[in-house]
Structures are given as C-alpha cells and as structure tokens.
A and B are shown apart, each in its own frame.
Chain A
Amino acid sequence: MDNKAKIICVTGGKGGTGKTLCAVNIAVMFKDAGHNVLLIDGDVENPNTFLLLGGELENPKEVPFFKPKIIKAKCSKCGLCAENCATHALLHVKDQYPIPILSVCSGCQLCYKICPEEAIEPDFQPIGWTYYTSVGGIDLLLGELKPSEMRSVAVVEALLEQMEEIMEKEPDKYDRIVLDTAPGAHCDVEALIDKADIVIPVTEPTKFGKLDLLRIIELIQLLKKDYKAIVNRSSLLGFREQFLEELKEANIEILGDIPLDDNIVQSYCQGVPIMAKNSEYKDAEGYKAFQQIFINLKKWLDSLGGN
C-alpha cells in the first residue's frame, strides 16, 4: 500500500475566487479528522495563508539565486560568457571585463560552466524566503518572493525541495499535504500542480470564472492530473443553477459549492478559519458547504486508494 503523503493542490486561474480560503479550511478539516497535515503556501508573490490562520511568520530562510561574479584576476576578456548568454545578461565590450546585467539574469549558470579560465563564480543573492512554522495549529511551509524580484518559480522550487526533503527524511510526519497556488497559469502554478496527486480548481459562477477555469483545466490536463472543481460564492446573483449546469455540460466534475456567506468574511477577517474546531459559525451555510465538500473529498481520495 502506498504510504506516501497525499498531495492536494488547490488552484484556480482567476484571482480572488477563494483558493486560499479553501486550501486553509481543507487543511484544518484534515487536521481535525486526525491527519498529520502540512499546508504549503505557493502563492509566493502574495502569500496569505498565515493571515487566514491569524498568525505571524517566523524563522525566514533565504532562497539563494545565482548571479555571476567575474573574477578579474582570472578573466581573459575573451567574451565567451557574453556570447553564449541567452538573455544578454553579460555585456562585453572588447578589451573590457564582461559586465553582469543582473536584472535579466535567468540563473542558468551557463557562464559559470563554460568559462575556460574558471573566472566566473556563483554569487548567490536572496530572491525571497521560505518559512516553516506552525500557525494556528497548522504546520505551514510558506514562500515569499522579494518585491522587485521577478522569478517567482525559483521560490516555489525552493518550497518543493523543502517539501521533498521532509518527505524523505520524515516520511511519517505528514499524510496530507495541501498546496495553495497563485492565480494565473504561469510556471510557478504549473510547478505546484505537477507535484499533486489531485487538483482542486476553485472558481466563481461568472463568465470570468468559467473562462479562467477552462484555462487552468487545460494546464491540469496537460500535466495529466485528476481534478474536481469547487464553485465558491455560488449564490452570487442567482447564477448557481445555470453555472452548475454549464459545468456539467462541459464534463467538469465538482467537489461542491459554497454560497455567499457573510460569516466566511467575518471569520476570515478575525483570522480564524471558519472550519476551526471551536468555530462559532457551525450553523452557517458556508460551514455546512465546507463539510459537504470535505465528505466528497474524502470519498474521492479513498477511491484513489488513499489511506
């Protein structure tokens, strides 16, 4: 039997549909059901999970990113590095040392690898941070990109490396890992979906929600992953029935839907997940909706041979 932790990726394409809301509450529900849960916040440009858990981040660990450093004493000014740099991140003018233009450096390290004089050294600069901590009773591994840096995927990869290290060194520590992604369908999102056993795109019952849902499903299918959607704010303007019908017609299975519920906003602003054990919102529509989603999620995992 496969004892590896089950990895559930919550994504969505469109911003603001409620990915983080769902990821956090799914993590909380698994924990309360007796599982050992790790929540990973891969929305490194705007990591928000810790806000929904009412906590703060501690113990930042730098994510280093390669930048080239030219060792002038060894450099023969041949310009081979600049010639082969795909992004023109090394500027070479004849008879001068090559000049790194760091803002366009992709970190491919080719210059370092091909310099015939070994005159380039890796100079690792922080591009962001990861935090591995416990917030609101949930183990959280969170990534944060340094504002003005561009390569979000590098921080996401650092998170995934840490996750794999934990899974290798302490395979019994967690049996459920929930990944929260950024909006969009860019490579940072793709890197997270790629690690998942199952994917849950979160959408809203509007044209925009549907358009972005179809796009994220395209990516999910490209990565050959199993998915079922959640429709959040389903009661918006009476769109629910029609939207669920449209999804059915498009053969998009859903895990459940969550109506607009002010209690969700209230609990979120208080920094307590609505599904927390001591939740004061147990009669709320949103609460019941999440409960049903969790039942369906467990059934789904069981059908895949989960433990």
Chain B
Amino acid sequence: MDPKAIGIISGKGGVGKTSLTASLASLANKDPDVNAIILDCDVDAPNLALILPAESEDQIQSHDTFTTLKATFLEDKCVQCKQCIEEHFCEFNALKWDEENSVPIIDYLACEGCGACKVLCPEHAFEINAVKSGEIISYQTKIGLPLVYGKTRLGSTTSGKLVSESKEYAKQLKEYNECDLIIIDGPPGIGCPVIATVSGLDYVITITEPTPSGLHDLIRAIEVVQQFDIPFGIVINKADLDSPFQEEFKKYIADTKYRVLGKIPFDLSIPKAMSFAEAVVDHSPDSRASIAIKKIYNTVKNELNN
C-alpha cells in the first residue's frame, strides 16, 4: 500500500512551515502506529536539516541531479552573421551581442536550455548540455526518521523538477516499504516548486498567521490546492497575536467554512527550540505551542484515516 503523503505550504514565507514540519515529524516518530519519512521540498532554501540534522556525517548520502539544460556557444563554428540577435532566437533574453568580439554571449543564469538557438543557428554554433541542477541529500536524522531534501544549484531554473525528483527519490529508501506516512515541508509562494510539491498529495496543511499578508497569501495558496482537488486544512500560527487585524481575520476564516485543524499561540518556545536545532515538541514539550501542535497532529491523523 502506498503511504499517505501530506504537505505543508503557506503562500507567505516565514509563517512556520518548517517548525511545524519538524514537530509533526517528531510526533510521528514517537507514534507506534506510524512509520514516517520526512521530505524538505523547499529546494531553493532548504532549512529543515537545521532542525533535523543527521545522526552522523558518514551516513549522509548525496546525489547530484542533472536536469538543467544550458546552451554553450561554439566559437569556432560561428561566422558572425548576428542572425541569432537580429532574428531574436532567444525568448529568455539569454543571448546578447559582444560588440568587441562580434560574437554572441550566453547569459548562463537566464538560459533555459530550450534549444532554440541550437536548432535555429544555420552554422550549428550552439549546443545544449545537461548541467548539474542541484543535489538530493538523504540521511537518518538524529531523532531516528529518514530525511530527504533537494537543494538547487544557483541558476538552475528547474526547482519544480528537483522537487519532483526528491519525492521520487524517497521511494528508493529502504524505509519506504514499511512507511505509511510522508510529511513534506513545502516551499513558500504558489509557483512551480509549490505546484510540484502539492500535486499527488493526499492532504495539504496550509499554515497562516493573522496578518493581512498572512491571509492574502493563504487565499492564493488555497486556490492552488483547490485546483488539484486535494483535501486541506488550515493551521493558524501566532493565533493570539495582538493585532488590529484579528477581527477581520477571524471573520474571514469563519465565513469560508474551511477546516481549521488547530491554532498555535504566539510562543517564543518555537524560535528558542529551533536555535537549539530541536523541534519545539522535543525542546519544550509542555509549552503552549507544543500542546497545540500535539492536538493538531492527532487531528491530522484522524483526517487521514477518514
């Protein structure tokens, strides 16, 4: 039986995806009913490894990925006709003209490897090669669960692909056969890497905070989840934040009738735990935040079983 996969997204960055994922992971680890694998799909800035480091350096596996395509210019084939510029071969502004040397220059970061220059140049002065797009790292965490995360190489333009590859990579782990739950820390935003994270999941947790941008971004994140027709629930972080926006926020959420999985109070135990590279449920198990998160864990478990 395939395991159930849940992802945590938010739209807005910095709302608490990673710290919630770490705590849910720890709770899943302690739960005798559950065998979990953890993924960090925030491939442009993976941070979960800071709270769930490896048990030991020597068992960290690292695997390079080569799914980014980039163009290279073959100067010896170029006849300096400038057709590539004049006829606008590149739609990504990655081809510029070097006046001094009368040759095109490829902007590596902007190049998408689409191959248009290779096909259109009459002298075949461009070629396309696969380059290192990032890496997928996996290890046994110090709390005992396996963790997989992807990290893009700067300029790779293929974050979505790396997310998908990281998800696929987890299936190769020896723990996958016994695994019944996969918990995924998602990226911020609503674009390509978020879409790649969310697609195919069984459940999505959308985490927010009671501020104007927290709400605004939550709505956009939910729109993406609804497009995929995946069941979701909302977690409100810093729920008791003293802000003039609270009334409007509460009313909005209540009017939508979306499922609220739980509310985590504003609690400095969370950043404190993170600074010790621990999940808050481990570092301060009796804190208000931990109590709230434990309730959320049980609620999510019920949602998944139904």
Name A residues whose Cβ lies closer than 8 Å to a Cβ of B.
Answer: 13-17, 20, 45-46, 48, 51-52, 66, 84, 86-87, 106-110, 113-114, 145, 147-152, 157, 182-188, 190-191, 194, 206-208, 211-212, 215, 218-219, 222-223, 236-237, 239, 262, 265-266, 268-271
- Please measure, in the bound complex, the distance between the C-alpha atom of A25 and the C-alpha atom of B128, giving whole angstroms: 44
Q: Does B115 have its Cβ within 8 Å of any Cβ on chain A?
A: yes
- Alpha-carbon distance between A157 and B220 when the two chains are bound, in angstroms: 21
| B188 interface contact, C-beta 8 A | yes
- CB pair A145–B191 under 8 Å, yes or no, is yes
Q: Of all chain A residues, which has the CB nearest B277?
A: A207
User: Hey, which bits of chain B sit against chain A, CB under 8 A?
Assistant: 11-15, 18, 44-45, 47, 50, 69, 89, 91-93, 109-110, 112-116, 119-120, 128, 152, 154-155, 157, 159-160, 187-195, 211-213, 216-217, 220, 223-224, 227, 241-245, 268, 271-272, 274-275, 277
Contacts of B242 in A (CB 8 A): 262, 265
Least Cβ–Cβ distance between A123 and chain B, in angstroms: 15
Q: Is the CB of A110 within 8 A of B114?
A: yes
The 8 sampled A-B contact pairs (Cβ below 8 Å) are A149-B191, A185-B45, A187-B110, A190-B154, A215-B45, A237-B275, A266-B243, A266-B244
Q: Closest Cβ of chain A: how far from B41's Cβ, in Å?
A: 12
- Judging by beta carbons under 8 Å apart, are B212 and A212 in contact? no
A152 touches B191 (CB 8 A): yes
- Starting from the known contacts A46-B190, A106-B112, A108-B115, 11 additional A-B residue pairs (CB-CB under 8 Å) come to A14-B13, A15-B14, A15-B45, A51-B212, A86-B113, A110-B115, A110-B119, A185-B44, A262-B242, A265-B241, A265-B242
Give min CB distance, A88 to chain B, whole Å.
Answer: 12
Give, as a whole number of angstroms, the nearest-CB distance from B158 to chain A: 10
In angstroms, Cα B110 to Cα A107, docked, is: 14
Select one of B11, B114, B152, B243 contacting A269, CB under 8 A.
Answer: B243
Nearest opposing residue in chain A for B228, CB measure: A148
> Once the chains bind, are B155 and A190 in contact (CB under 8 Å)?
yes
Q: Is the CB of A222 within 8 A of B115?
A: no
A185/B154 in contact, CB under 8 A? yes
Contacts of A206 in B (CB 8 A): 271, 274-275
A48→B47 contact, CB < 8 A: no
Q: A208-B50, A237-B272 in contact; A147/B224 too (CB < 8 A)?
A: yes
B109 touching A147, Cβ below 8 Å: no
Q: Which of B14, B15, B160, B275 has the most CB of A within 10 A?
A: B14
Is the beta-carbon distance between B116 and A108 smaller than 8 angstroms?
yes
Cβ A208 vs Cβ B47 within 8 A = yes
Across the interface, which residues of A come within 8 angstroms of B188, CB to CB?
Answer: 15-16, 46, 182-184
Q: Which residue of A lies closest to B108 (CB)?
A: A222
Q: Tell me whether A222 and B190 are in contact (CB under 8 A).
A: no
Nearest residue in A to B112 (C-beta to C-beta)? A106
Q: Are B50 and A207 in contact (CB under 8 A)?
A: yes
In the complex where A183-B13, A206-B274, A206-B275 touch, is A108 in contact with B187 (Cβ < 8 A)? no
A150 to B112, CA, bound (A): 14
Bound-state Cα–Cα, A87 to B161, Å: 12
Given A14-B14, A15-B14, A208-B18, verify A46-B45 contact (CB < 8 Å). Answer: no
* B211→A237 contact, CB < 8 A: no
* Inter-subunit contact A237/B119 (CB<8 Å): no
Residues of A within 8 A of B112 (CB): 106, 108
Alpha-carbon distance between A149 and B92 when the two chains are bound, in angstroms = 17
Asked, given contacts A152-B192, A237-B271, A268-B211, whether A46 binds B216 with beta carbons under 8 Å apart, the answer is yes
A110–B191 CB distance below 8 A: no
Residue on B with the closest CB to A190?
B109
Pairwise interchain contact A16-B12, C-beta atoms closer than 8 A: yes
- Residues of chain A within 8 A (CB-CB) of B193 are 186
Assembled-state Cα–Cα distance A89/B271 (Å): 45
CA distance A164 to B112 in the complex (A): 23
Report chain A residues within 8 Å CB of B157: 186-187
A86-B114, A206-B275, A208-B18 are contacts. A48–B190 as well, Cβ < 8 Å?
A: no
Query: Closest Cβ of chain B: how far from A69's Cβ, in Å?
Result: 16
Is the CB–CB distance between B120 and A46 below 8 Å? no
Query: Nearest CB to that of B241 among chain A residues?
Result: A265
Given contacts A15-B12, A46-B216, contact A66 B91 (CB under 8 A): yes
User: Within the assembled complex, what's the spacing in Å between the Cα atoms of A106 and B114?
Assistant: 8
Distance (Å) between the CB of B274 and the closest chain A CB?
6
